[in-house]
């Protein structure tokens, strides 16, 4: 066997493992539910209805046009990141029986979890389209930037997921902390309120919140119909690559010791 074909077949093998793991997660998620995959559409819609009811009646109204659409865009993207990182975080611990028995590329587990969350997100795009139709928000050319955004968020979530997966093997505390952190992060990201409602210093701090950039990017292309500039793209890319680099380095450095702790 020539080295090139060797490499190729190894990649094929890993891809088959990833697809098998993702399809397993899908089957398990929708097994025995009547509506099945439709829940991935229904869920964000229902969440949006509840949240917009709460935020538009109980709290001071923010002057936001098409508030439900504003909400669902931020919410689904944030859910993508939070589900992806949470899934990836426990993926190594959960596959302990496998890791202990079979020689297998350990990174496949977090990758498959992040991929699974991404697919769920893609399904929930149906809900977003429905809301856009309802509020008669016409899609613009800017929406073509969506795949790029998904790449950013995927890479960013994967990076975080790898980092968390590696850390949680050694310190299970990470799992508990991350749940709380995600909640805090959700409120620190302008999902339910306009960023303008914040105090000036908070606005400045927002520049360091990657999710703020991704959510804004999403709203620009889907709600406001503006094209993200080069600077914005570079910021999003930098966060994604930074997270990936950190995640991969930490994961790689510790992967060999996982078996001793899972």
Partner 1 sequence: MSNTALISQEATNEIVHQDDIMIKVENVSMVFNMASEQLNSIKEYVIKFAKRQLFFSAFKALDDVSFEVKRGDVFGIIGSNGSGKSTMLKIIAGVLEPSEGTCTINGSIAPLIELGAGFDLELTARENIFLNGALLGYPKKFIEENFADIVAFAEIEHFLDMPMKNFSSGMVARVAFSVATVIVPDILIVDEVLSVGDFMFQKKCENRISELIETHGVTVLIVSHSNEQIERLCNKVIWIDKGRTKKLGDTAEICKTYRALGGRSGTPKSEARVIAAIEKTTTPVPSDSYSMITGENSYETAVQAASIIWKDEAFDTVAIVCGGTHINTVLANGLAGAYNAPVFPTRINRISESLHDLLSTHKPKRILFFDCGSSATSALNHLKELKWKPEIVDFSNKGSVFDLSKEIFAYGEKQKLWGSTAVVVDFADNPESLAGAPYLYREKCPVFSSSDTDPMKPHDLLNVLKTSEIKNLVIFGKTAHHGIENLCHKHGVEAVRIASKSVHQACVDICNWQFEQNSAPHKELCIASLEGSQWPDVLMCGAYCAHTNGALLFEDSTDLDSIALCLDFVSRNKAAISKLVFFGGEANLSELDRELLFRELL
Applying CB under 8 A, the residues found at the interface with partner 1 are 1, 6, 9-10, 12-13, 16-17, 19-21, 24, 27-28, 31, 97-104, 256, 259-260
Residue 185 and residue 238: Cα distance in Å, rounded? Answer: 19
Name which of 203 and 259 has its Cβ closer to partner 1.
259
CB atoms within 10 A of CB 55: 19
| Tokens linked to 138 | 């016409």
Least Å distance between CB 262 and partner 1? 11
CB-nearer residue toward partner 1: 23 or 204: 23
What is the C-alpha to C-alpha distance for residues 129 and 122, in angstroms, rounded to an integer?
11
> Are 251 and 166 spatial neighbours (Cβ–Cβ below 8 Å)?
yes
Q: Are 62 and 147 in contact (CB under 8 A)?
A: no
- Kindly report the number of other CB atoms within 10 A of residue 98's CB atom: 13
Q: How far is the CB of 181 from partner 1 (least distance, A)?
A: 26
Q: Which is nearer to partner 1, 31 or 61 (CB)?
A: 31
Q: Which is nearer to partner 1, 127 or 255 (CB)?
A: 255
Helical residues (DSSP H) of 95-172, grouped into ranges? 96-101, 108-134, 146-170
Closest CB 260 distance from partner 1, rounded Å: 7
Compare residues 13 and 176 and give the one whose CB is closer to partner 1.
13
Least distance (Å) between residue 37 CB and partner 1: 17
Neighbours of 213 (CB within 10 A): 22
Nearest approach, Cβ of 30 to partner 1 (angstroms)?
12
* Count of other CB atoms within 10 angstroms of residue 209: 17
Q: Which is nearer to partner 1, 9 or 179 (CB)?
A: 9
Using the minimum distance from each CB to partner 1, give the nearer residue, 16 or 59.
Answer: 16
- For 176, residues 6+ apart whose C-beta sits below 8 A from its C-beta are none
Q: d(Cα 114, Cα 242) in Å, to the nearest integer?
A: 17
- State the nearest-atom distance from the C-beta of 17 to partner 1, in Å: 5
Query: Least distance (Å) from partner 1 to the CB of residue 16?
Result: 5
Element (H, E) at 26: helix 3-30
């Amino acid at each position: 066997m020539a080295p090139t074909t060797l490499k190729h077949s190894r990649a094929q093998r890993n891809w088959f493992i990833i697809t098998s793991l993702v399809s397993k997660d899908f089957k398990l998620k929708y097994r025995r539910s009547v509506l099945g995959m439709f829940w991935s559409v229904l869920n964000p819609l229902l969440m949006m209805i509840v949240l917009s009811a709460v935020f538009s009646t109980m709290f001071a109204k923010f002057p936001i046009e098409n508030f439900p659409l504003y909400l669902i865009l931020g919410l689904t993207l944030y859910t993508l990141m939070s589900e992806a990182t949470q899934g990836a975080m426990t993926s190594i611990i959960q596959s302990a029986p496998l890791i202990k028995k079979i020689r297998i590329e350990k990174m496949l587990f977090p990758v498959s979890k992040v991929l699974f969350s991404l697919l769920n997100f893609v399904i929930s795009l149906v809900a977003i389209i429905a809301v856009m139709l309802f509020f008669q928000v016409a899609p613009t050319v800017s929406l073509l930037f969506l795949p790029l955004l998904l790449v950013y968020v995927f890479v960013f979530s994967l990076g975080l997921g790898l980092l968390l997966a590696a850390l949680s093997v050694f310190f299970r505390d990470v799992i508990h902390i991350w749940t709380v952190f995600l909640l805090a992060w959700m409120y620190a990201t302008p999902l339910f309120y306009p960023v303008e409602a914040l105090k000036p210093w908070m606005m400045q701090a927002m520049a360091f919140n990657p999710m703020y950039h991704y959510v804004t990017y999403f709203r620009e292309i889907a709600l406001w119909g503006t094209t993200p500039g080069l600077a914005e793209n570079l910021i999003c890319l930098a966060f994604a690559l930074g997270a990936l680099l950190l995640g991969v380095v930490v994961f790689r450095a510790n992967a060999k010791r996982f078996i001793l702790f899972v």
